[in-house]
Amino acid sequence: MRIVLVGPPGAGKGTQAAFLAKNLAIPHVATGDLFRANISQGTPLGQKAQEYMRAGQLVPDEVTIGMAKSRLEEPDAAAGFLLDGFPRNIAQAQALDGYLEETGQKLDAVLDLEVPEDEVVKRIAGRRICRNDSSHVFHVEYSPAKTEGVCDVCGGELYQREDDREETVRKRLEVYHSETEPIIDHYKAQGLVTTISALGAVSEVTERAMQALSAE
C-alpha cells in the first residue's frame, strides 16, 4: 500500500506510522529521517539543506521533494510506503502526484489523524524532558514523574523545551492550518481521505487506522 499520514503536531503521527508500517510490512518514510540521512551521508541535497538550515532559513520545497523522490526510488519502497511529514504543503502534494503518475504508481489512502486543538496543546505543553537524557520523557498529566521535576530513571532535572511551550505550540498549529491542512482537501478531491480519531490509547488508534485501510 502507498499511504500518506496527515495530522497536526501532537497527533501521534510518528508513533502510528511506525506501528502501521510494521503491520503492513512497508517502509516508514519520515521527513526528519530523510533530512538526517542526507545530511549525515553528505549527499548534494543534504549539503543544500544544511546550508539553508545553518543560515536559519527554511529548506526549499524542491530540496525536500528531491529527498523524498530519491527515497521512494529505493528497492524497499517498490511495493509500498507510508509517508509521514511529507507532503507538508500543496506544492509538495502536487509534486508527489506528478512523481507517482510518472512512475505508474498511485496512492491508496490518506489517513487524517484528528485531534482537538486543546488536546494537542495539552499533549505537547505537558511534556517534560530529562536534561541528562532526552529519551527520558514524562508528561505532567499522562505519565508524571514520581517526584515533580526529577527524572525517575537517572535523577536528572526535568524541563520544558521551548518548542513545547503553549505559545509555540499554538504558532505551530497556525502553520499547520495554513500550510498543511489544505492538502487534506486536495486529497479529498481524489477520494483518498479517511479521517480517524487520534484520541485514546495508541493501540486503539492503530486499530482504527488498520480498519480504515482494510476498507480501502
Is 172 among the catalytic positions?
yes
Q: Pick the catalytic residue: 2, 13, 71, 208? A: 13
Q: Are 113 and 205 in contact (CB under 8 A)?
A: yes
Instruction: Measure the CA–CA gap between 194 and 7, rounded to whole angstroms.
Output: 12
Q: Locate cell 529527498: which residue?
A: 67
Q: Are 128 and 159 in contact (CB under 8 A)?
A: yes
Q: Pick the catalytic residue: 36, 161, 171, 188? A: 161
Q: Are 64 and 30 in contact (CB under 8 A)?
A: no
Instruction: Measure the CA–CA gap between 17 and 34, rounded to whole angstroms.
Output: 15
Is 208 among the catalytic positions?
no
Q: Pick the catalytic residue: 2, 48, 122, 127? A: 127
Is 88 among the catalytic positions?
yes
Find the distance separating the first CA and the last CA of the chain, reported in whole Å: 10
Q: Are 89 and 67 in contact (CB under 8 A)?
A: no
φ and ψ of 196, to 5 deg: -130, 150
Any idea which residues carry the catalytic annotation? Answer: 13, 88, 127, 161, 172
